[in-house]
């Protein structure tokens, strides 16, 4: 028993399918080129690998959003329909973010920490908190959290918005005083 393949879908949407393939290939190439350029720029300017990866993550989000908008245009979604869907999605996200304002503040703090460079991966810092003072080395800075490691080996995940609210001391390597060998 053989099944007949229904080609009416492909006949009807042939142009949209070809355009979708072109958009996917184009944005994949854009993503590859952006990766190469950002990594080359990061090496040339001595950016840490973590900061370069964070820039890439934000650029990838932007590329994905532009690809989705392009696909919406390719498939001929009417502006009113797209606006209705996007406003519904943004409303749900807005309510969720308002309920979870700390997520939004952590993202914002992560962006501020990234562009202001107050400290970097590998720095030893002291967080001035009277209830929970922390002295540790920064091992990673992410969108939401900064990861720290204490001298006892404890790993701490510290929210970025708290790092902006607390006083931070960047510790220098302790220099031992010179020994006097004369009697």
Does residue 68 lie within any of the structural domains?
yes
Does residue 3 lie within any of the structural domains?
no
Containing domain of residue 34, as a range? Answer: 8-99
**Model confidence over 7-32: pLDDT tens digits?**
677 777 888 889 999 999 999 999 99
94 and 139, same domain (yes or no): no
What's 135's domain CATH number? 2.30.30.60
pLDDT band at 102 (very low <50, low <70, confident <90, very high): low
84 and 37, same domain (yes or no): yes
Domain boundary among 99, 130, 159: 99
Q: Indicate if the pLDDT at residue 100 is higher than 90.
A: no
Counted domains in the chain: 2
**Model confidence over 35-64: pLDDT tens digits?**
999 989 888 887 777 778 878 888 898 899
Domain boundary among 41, 64, 99: 99
93 and 123, same domain (yes or no): no
| Nearest to 122, CA basis, from 146, 100, 157 | 146
**Model confidence over 103-121: pLDDT tens digits?**
677 777 877 776 776 787 8
Does residue 55 lie within any of the structural domains?
yes
Domain boundary among 68, 99, 130: 99
pTM tops 0.75, yes or no: no
**Model confidence over 130-170: pLDDT tens digits?**
888 889 999 888 778 889 999 999 999 988 888 888 888 88
Does residue 125 lie within any of the structural domains?
yes
Does residue 179 lie within any of the structural domains?
no
Does residue 107 lie within any of the structural domains?
no
24 and 94, same domain (yes or no): yes
């Amino acid at each position: 028993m053989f099944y007949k393949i229904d080609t009416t879908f492909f006949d009807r949407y042939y142009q949209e399918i070809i355009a979708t393939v072109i958009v996917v290939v184009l944005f994949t190439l854009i993503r590859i080129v952006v990766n190469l350029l950002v990594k080359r720029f990061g090496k040339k300017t001595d950016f840490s690998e973590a900061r370069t990866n964070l820039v890439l993550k934000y650029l990838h989000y932007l590329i994905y959003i532009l690809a989705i908008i392009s696909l919406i245009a390719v498939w001929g979604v009417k502006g009113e329909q797209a606006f209705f869907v996007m406003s519904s999605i943004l409303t749900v996200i807005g309510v969720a973010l308002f309920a979870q304002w700390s997520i939004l503040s952590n993202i914002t703090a992560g962006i501020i920490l990234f562009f202001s460079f107050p400290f970097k991966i590998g720095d030893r810092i002291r967080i001035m908190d009277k209830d929970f003072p922390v002295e540790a080395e920064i091992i990673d800075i992410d969108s939401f959290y900064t990861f720290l490691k204490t001298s006892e080996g404890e790993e701490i995940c510290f929210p970025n918005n708290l790092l902006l609210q607390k006083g931070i001391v960047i510790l220098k390597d302790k220099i031992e005083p010179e020994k006097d060998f004369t009697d």
